[in-house]
Amino acid sequence: MFQQHIHNWIETFLSVPSETFNNLPPCPFAKQAMIENKIQCAELKPIEHISMHDYFIAELENFSYHWPKGKEVVIIGCNPEYITSEELSMAVETSTTRFLSQRGYIALEDHPDEEEKVKDVVLNNKQYAVIFLQDANKLNTARRALHSQNYYVNWDEEYYADVLDI
């Protein structure tokens, strides 16, 4: 169900060109990655005696240490009732500080309770609490390519700086 939702979100939203992104899709690389089977999805279900916050950190550590062969992005998610947007953000912040930066990875979170919007476009997947894990060098190369195509022209400065971690 989780993977199906992510694939549907990529197909029907993230891959559709938008004026807000200078006629590029919200995520211009997602559909090709999906077609080439370069996305690893992992849905987390509650486990007794471990908080979902700690579970996300453990999975981020696991995937950043044992990167799935042939994948470009790992998408880890759960029902948003299991974790608040603040806890999800703290899991990313803690993981980034403890090990992700040193291993060359970037994690970005998406929670239905924390709307992420560029101009008039809401970017959230709206159904799951999610963390996207990617190789920092590859992501930054893609960001530079998008910058040269005026992809970020409608982003407010605060959101741009937050997403690009400037």
Q: pLDDT band for position 164 (50/70/90)?
A: low
pLDDT of amino acid 157: 84
φ and ψ at 15, to 5 degrees? Answer: -105, 5
What dihedral angle (degrees, nearest 10) is formed by the CA atoms of 58, 93, 103, 145?
130
Prediction pTM value: 0.94
What is the C-alpha separation between 94 and 81, in angstroms, rounded?
21
* Average pLDDT for 51-76: 98
pLDDT of amino acid 1: 94
Q: In the chain, what are the domain boundaries?
A: 2-164
Q: Rounded to the nearest 5 degrees, what angle is found at the Cα of 18, between the Cα atoms of 12 and 22?
A: 145
* Average pLDDT for 17-25: 96
Q: pLDDT band for position 159 (50/70/90)?
A: confident
